[in-house]
Structure 1
Amino acid sequence: MPEKNGVHDQIILGSGPAGYTAAIYASRSNCCPLLIAGIQPGGQLTGTTLVENFPGFPEGVDGPELMEKMRDQAVHFGTKLVDGEVTKVELDSQPFRVWVDDQSYRCRSLIICTGASPRMLGLDNEKELYGRGVSVCATCDGFFYRDKEVAVVGGGDTAMEDALFLARFASKVTVIHRRDELRAGPILAERALQHPKIEFLWDSVVTTLKGDPKTGFQGLTVKNLKTEKENDLTCDGVFIAIGHHPNTGLFKGQLEMDDWGYLTTKNGTETSVCGVFAAGDVQDPHFRQAITAAGSGCMAAMQSQRYLECVDDADCLQCGE
């Protein structure tokens, strides 16, 4: 039974590509999961104007449209949706419990797809310009800047990977870094430093993003931390590459995490608590793509279903039972 005595077979936390894909697969297994959408229904893709690297859309698809289609497909197969943000979880005993404000929900298996949030600069209009010249994903948006000038903010591995990737398309890439040397690994750093299209502004931070939602991004202002001097930089786009933080605060002390706070998984999507699975950016610090998140969402739903079938079997040996 999908739900018995007020206990759901599966609850899915999060409504990005991982969450909706998990819901589609779970629903088609006649599990009728409950999906709690979270603080940003649709996830990070709702802030992306055009997605061109998701299979099945040769002309590209708007991020919000893609997530709406995923949501509709999940609902079509029987997923129940709850709008809201989970405020508390209890994973120390069965059934697991999750709260949305004062409302409590119980489940036999939990699939966590709460994602990760990009670290931003904290400037006034960066949210307004997000997807309109301000990006956090070079792999997603680099193609749009062919023969244009772009800036990358950051000095770690991600920033250098982004700069090198963007140099395939852009006519010029300016890396803005607050220190006088890179934090990236030696090989990546050397490749970026030697690349003819990549220039560096050292000891510098971005103080202003120019433009508005109507006109789009129109450049930025950079401040040198040593001289205190500010200069305008004309460019067509800026990529913020100062890291991500996984949305795992709810699970601290209850699930194992790595040093950066990402949920650790084994055998696919199994977490440290039997019956709890994790998919997408919440457990993936490396790829952070819609398609990889969707793939792991599929895995989590299938592993959750097998777990439920196993624990219903009197001879089940899963989780040491």
Structure 2
Amino acid sequence: MSTTRHTKVLIIGSGPAGYTAAVYASRAMLNPILVQGIQPGGQLTITTEVENWPGDAMVQGPDLMVRMEAHAKEVGTEIIGDHINSIDLSKRPFTALGDSGTTYTADAVVLATGAQAKWLGLPSEEKFKGFGVSACATCDGFFYRNKEVVVIGGGNTAVEEALFLTNFASKVTLIHRRDSLRAEKILQDRLFKNPKVAILWDHSVDAVLGDENPLGVTGVQARHATTGESTTVPCDGFFVAIGHAPASELVKDQLETHMGGYVVTKPDSTATSIPGVFAAGDLTDHIYRQAVTSAGMGCMAALEAEKFLAEQEETESTALSAAE
């Protein structure tokens, strides 16, 4: 049987942005509801060691998200294991429909649905995720000190990842399916001048190679775009850098977006193009994409939602007084 739940603040998404927004909204006595989505905890649940979260020299990604969820619950957030499949932002209260059949209505919404790295879609890639296959050099580059790594891609993301990895790896091979890069020229210049970098042009990756026990990457199998000739490139780590896709399907036709679907927010704010709707974390951040910046934006979103609701209550109170 379908039910309707109302809340002052509905938080959609359960990564660092969503859970931080929940903590702040709860402390503001807004009694928020957080709907976790299909991947509770977000991208950090597929990250093993996290070494750049302030206060923890090293923490397992899934463990960090368990702690964040517990914190949000402790301060009063109602956390629901549902997935929002549609939302109507055309009028307040906003209305969202969950897979469970539950309808959620809210006076304000914090969108924290995140973004996901684009993957090649190879079975072997999936097999070694977290065991040598990564989509985040800043997260995992440290683990490849004095080792050889491979990066695939040809845009700014790939070049930036490759350059970052030269701080750790003994050799970085960039594989690109064309004979020229799409990245900005200044980045290309830095890449070409770096003695640690080798480029394999006109190749795609067919498979990730590795050991079973312990599970780990030993190389990639690349194929020439024209000749079809196969080449094995030895490496200890394989970084997929073909871009990120923001999880904005829910709102792409209702909110202003840019850069391939990232939700636009006002300068120095998480406010979107619709008053009362706020966006935080990787859904709106196409630059940093870090857990700590996502958490910061979650804080901002909750504080801005609190201010928005207070202003709405004041306006409604004034209007009521004038009508009496």
> Is the shorter-chain TM-score for this pair beyond 0.5, marking a shared fold?
yes
User: What does residue 303 of structure 1 align with?
Assistant: 304
Question: 1:148 and 2:147 equivalent?
Answer: yes
Name the structure 1 match of 2:190. Answer: 191
Could you list the per-position Cα deviations for residues 119-165 of structure 1 after superposition, in whole angstroms to 9, with x for gaps in the alignment? 10110132231111001011111111100000000011111111111
| Stretches of 4+ aligned residues off by more than 2 angstroms | 211-214, 314-317
Could you tell me which amino acid in structure 1 is paired with residue 174 of structure 2?
A: V
Return the offset for 1:14.
0.3
The residue that corresponds to 1:248 in the other structure is 248
Deviation per CA, 1:273-301, whole angstroms, max 9, x where unpaired?
10000000000001000000000000000
8 Å contact kept, 1:114–1:248: yes
Amino acid paired to 1:9: K
Give the 3 Å change call, closer, same or farther, for CA 213–68 of structure 1 in structure 2. farther
**Residue aligning to 1:73:** 71
**Further displaced range: 18-27 or 211-220:** 211-220
Whether 1:38 and 2:41 are equivalent positions in the alignment is no
Deviation at 1:213, TM superposition (A): 8.0
Cα distance in 2 for residues equivalent to 1:36 and 1:91: 17
Map of 1:224 onto structure 2 = 224
CA distance in structure 1 between the aligned counterparts of 2:158 and 2:69, rounded to whole angstroms = 32
Give the alignment of 1:100-249 within 5 angstroms.
Answer: 100-101=98-99, 102-211=101-210, 212=212, 214-249=214-249
For residues 126 and 164 of structure 1, the distance between their equivalents in structure 2, rounded to whole angstroms, comes to: 22
Residue 259 (structure 1) shift: 4.0
Aligned to 2:61: 63
Kindly indicate whether residue 85 of structure 2 is the aligned counterpart of residue 98 of structure 1. Answer: no
Please tell me the residue identity of whatever aligns with 1:302: L
Q: Could you list the runs of 5+ residues in structure 1 that have no partner in the other structure?
A: none
Match of 2:290 in 1: 289
Equivalent residue letter for 1:232: T
2:78 partner amino acid: K
Secondary structure at the counterpart of residue 71 of structure 1: helix
- Aligned residue number for residue 322 of structure 2: none
For 1:152, the aligned partner's letter is V
- Determine helix, strand or coil for the equivalent of 2:239: strand
> Percent of aligned positions with the same letter in both sequences?
48
Alpha-carbon separation, structure 1, partners of 2:246 and 2:155:
18
Shifted more, 306-315 versus 85-94: the winner is: 306-315
Alpha-carbon shift at residue 105 of structure 1 (Å) = 0.7
> What letter corresponds to residue 167 of structure 2 in structure 1?
R
CA deviation after TM superposition for structure 1 residue 191, in Å: 0.6
Tell me the amino acid that sits aligned with residue 195 of structure 2.
P
Q: Which amino acid aligns with 1:297?
A: G
- Secondary structure at the aligned position of 1:127 is classed as helix
For residue 83 of structure 1, the aligned residue among 56, 81, 84 is 81
Alignment of 1:259-274 (within 5 A): 259-267=259-267, 268-274=269-275
Query: For 2:263, what is the secondary structure of its paired residue?
Result: coil
Secondary structure of 2:50 counterpart: coil
Q: Tell me if the contact between 1:129 and 1:213 (Cα under 8 Å) persists in the aligned partners.
A: no
CA contact (8 A) 2:5 2:103 kept: no
Taking the aligned partners of 2:127 and 2:13, their CA distance within structure 1 comes to 23
- Indicate conservation of the 8 Å contact 2:176/2:202, yes or no: yes
Q: Kindly tell me: are residues 316 and 131 of structure 1, through their superposed partners in 2, closer, same or farther at Cα, counting changes over 3 Å?
A: farther
**Kindly tell me: are residues 172 and 56 of structure 1, through their superposed partners in 2, closer, same or farther at Cα, counting changes over 3 Å?**
same
- Whether the 8 Å CA contact 1:132–1:213 is kept in 2: the answer is no
Query: Partner letter of residue 158 of structure 1?
Result: T
Query: Per-residue deviation at 1:176?
Result: 0.3
Q: How far off is 1:175 after superposition?
A: 0.1
1: CA distance, partners of 2:17 / 2:129: 22
Letter in 1 for 2:33: L
Q: Secondary structure of 1:285's match? A: coil
How many pairs align? 312
Instruction: Note the C-alpha offset of 1:315.
Output: 7.5
Calculate the aligned-residue CA RMSD, in Å.
1.5
Q: Which letter maps to 2:88?
A: E
